[in-house]
Structure 1
Amino acid sequence: MTASLPTPLIGASTLLARLGTPDWPVLLDCSFDLADTGAGEAAYIAGHLPGARYAHLDRDLSGPKTARGAIDGGRHPLPTREALAATLARWGIGAGTPVVAYDAQGGAYAARAWWLLRWLGHQAIAVLDGGVAAWQATGGPLEQGLTPHAPAAEGYPLRPAAMPAVDASELLAAPGRLLVIDARAPERYRGDVEPLDAQAGHIPGARNRFFKDNLDPNGRFRPAAELRRVFQAFGATPGQVVHQCGSGVTACHNLLAMELAGLPGSALYPGSWSEWSADPARPVARS
């Protein structure tokens, strides 16, 4: 079952063909709205893919904020590996369980779940290309209400981190050696507006790749060859690339796009702009 799960993306028709079979994966509905943190869960209750669990960005896909707030870890700190492993076990996910993450926001939050599971060493994890809209367009049914809890899996094994991450001190210590790619909208990257964080602007030297540009007009990921050309045009090898956004969430969309493009190995800066801009001692660029 593990080997047969397409990764990092799975198409809606491919997933639908598994409905009612032993190959049906554990589904994680990651739908979310930063401006209304209850909206995603409400939408899940109103209609979700069969058997899906709800993965809340704040409760399940992030850790608690530190005593110093955004200055240490940003608005969505990573959960500890132990906490994440316990969450997966609670959802009935074992080390070899196939998992598909999806949302209704173009994969913005599903990509965070994908990265976290990969970080924990999980291989059988894919994102549903096109999310809820693609599923419905293919004729897939929705269920209402809360999915009953599945039997908890045995303790999820803790392995060495399988996805690289860097912190602010590493970025400050390596100017020019690492290429930072900022996934935020261009107006936030430039510093024209800043609706969420302490300062407007971007990390000096960072380049901009708005995560939504990874999608075609139908809300599905662009072809791998096209994404490969885009990311190679930045002129850095994957091992030199660090992705960031506002709080380490939509940056995972660019990480997923690079993986799809056959360019694995880039890193995430989890604290991202929310952490960076919270410390007035760190430099800020505007353009």
Structure 2
Amino acid sequence: MSHLIRPNELHNLIKTAEPIILDCQANLTDRTKSQQMYQSEHIPGAYHADTETDLSSEIIPGKTGRHPMPSIEQWQQRLQKWGITQQSEIILYDQSNSMFASRAWWLLQWAGITHVRVLDGGLAAWKSYGGETTSKIPELPAPSTLTIRVQQDWLISADELLPLAENSLLLDARALPRYKGAEEPLDTKAGHIPGAINADFTRNLDVDHRFLSRTQLKQRFKSLQNQDAVCYCGSGITACHNILAIAESGLPMPKLYAGSWSEWIVDDSRPIATGIEGEPL
């Protein structure tokens, strides 16, 4: 089964079922933008999933990256707030390229919630299809009593990362100039984790910000067929996009270094590399 849903499929699903729809629109450079985007326009009935407050926990200066993972208890409470159960069918979307929706997708999968799909192309694709939007905020449902059981082995810590680099592919989802250390618009240090290969997440998409076909994605990530992989990015957002693309290709899901580059650099003893290592994917 695909992890993606097309706008026409969502339109038909809404007519025949009652999926829980989460709006994940956000902006990495403006942490306040998510709420504004949702209030301005969203798919009717969609609840707001804020990247900063719902899909992340509080930043601890000098310890965490820009988007720390929510605790198990925090994430369970968020899911209960949206009325989610193990049987719920959940649709996620953001404005277009699915980077924020992919973070929500990964968190739900991590929590053992499996009936989850991402709207391919996001709100932009929905509107191009002719889908209705609204600024009306729906009432939250009665909270569920969901208990989650997370997949602890899906995560890897900074301390575990370097020893694994020799036997695993470490994929950096950021744009090539950030990976190389040529520029760094968001974090205080430039470069990448030693041993990492650049795998810019935008290369999972076509010109309309929709995912490539399963065949194309499998070709892109063919080097993972016989090797374990770990994904990271700037703060644990776009790494999930690569994980979704890899899962959509039919390959095993890589581990996630959730703290990513913005956490890696808070410890001055951790090594930093610049330039290009290996062949970018």
Which residue number in structure 2 is paired with residue 259 of structure 1? 247
Give deviations 1:10-34, integer Å, cap 9, x for gaps: 111000012233x131001000001
Structure 1 position 236, deviation (Å): 4.8
CA distance in 1, matches of 2:66, 2:96: 19
Which residue number in structure 1 is paired with residue 113 of structure 2? 122
Which residue number in structure 2 is paired with residue 48 of structure 1? 42
User: In the alignment, is the contact (CA less than 8 A) between 1:248 and 1:272 conserved in 2?
Assistant: yes
Structure 1 position 83, deviation (Å): 0.9
| 3-state SS of 2:243 partner | helix
CA distance in 2, matches of 1:26, 1:104: 17
Which residue number in structure 2 is paired with residue 61 of structure 1? 55
Structure 1 position 249, deviation (Å): 0.6
- Say whether residues 1:85 and 2:76 are aligned partners: yes
- Say whether residues 1:100 and 2:84 are aligned partners: no
The amino acid that maps onto 2:116 is I
CA distance in 1, matches of 2:255, 2:141: 33
Which residue number in structure 2 is paired with residue 29 of structure 1? 23
Equivalent in 161, 166, 169 of residue 179 of structure 1 = 169
Which residue number in structure 2 is paired with residue 164 of structure 1? 154
- Say whether residues 1:222 and 2:229 are aligned partners: no
Normalising by the residue count of structure 2, what TM-score does the alignment of the two structures yield? 0.94
Which residue number in structure 2 is paired with residue 204 of structure 1? 194
User: In the alignment, is the contact (CA less than 8 A) between 2:218 and 2:249 conserved in 1?
Assistant: yes
The amino acid that maps onto 1:8 is H
| 3-state SS of 1:20 partner | helix
Which residue number in structure 1 is paired with residue 237 of structure 2? 249
User: In the alignment, is the contact (CA less than 8 A) between 1:73 and 1:270 conserved in 2?
Assistant: no
The 3 A distance-change label for structure 1 pair 24 and 138 is farther
| 3-state SS of 1:126 partner | strand
Give deviations 1:87-109, integer Å, cap 9, x for gaps: 01101111111111100140000
User: In the alignment, is the contact (CA less than 8 A) between 2:156 and 2:256 conserved in 1?
Assistant: yes
Gaps of 5+ in 2: 276-281
**Identity rate, percent:** 40
Structure 1 position 162, deviation (Å): 6.8
Normalising by the residue count of structure 1, what TM-score does the alignment of the two structures yield? 0.92
CA distance in 2, matches of 1:248, 1:54: 20
CA distance in 2, matches of 1:136, 1:174: 44
User: In the alignment, is the contact (CA less than 8 A) between 2:64 and 2:266 conserved in 1?
Assistant: no
Gaps of 5+ in 1: 1-5
- Say whether residues 1:113 and 2:104 are aligned partners: yes
CA distance in 2, matches of 1:257, 1:212: 11
Give deviations 1:229-257, integer Å, cap 9, x for gaps: 111136752xx100000001110000000
RMSD: 1.5
Equivalent in 13, 37, 41 of residue 18 of structure 1 = 13
| 3-state SS of 2:75 partner | helix
Give deviations 1:126-153, integer Å, cap 9, x for gaps: 1000110111122210111322111111
The 3 A distance-change label for structure 1 pair 259 and 163 is farther
Aligned residues: 275
CA distance in 2, matches of 1:163, 1:104: 31
| 3-state SS of 1:37 partner | coil
Structure 1 position 175, deviation (Å): 3.4
Which residue number in structure 2 is paired with residue 150 of structure 1? 141
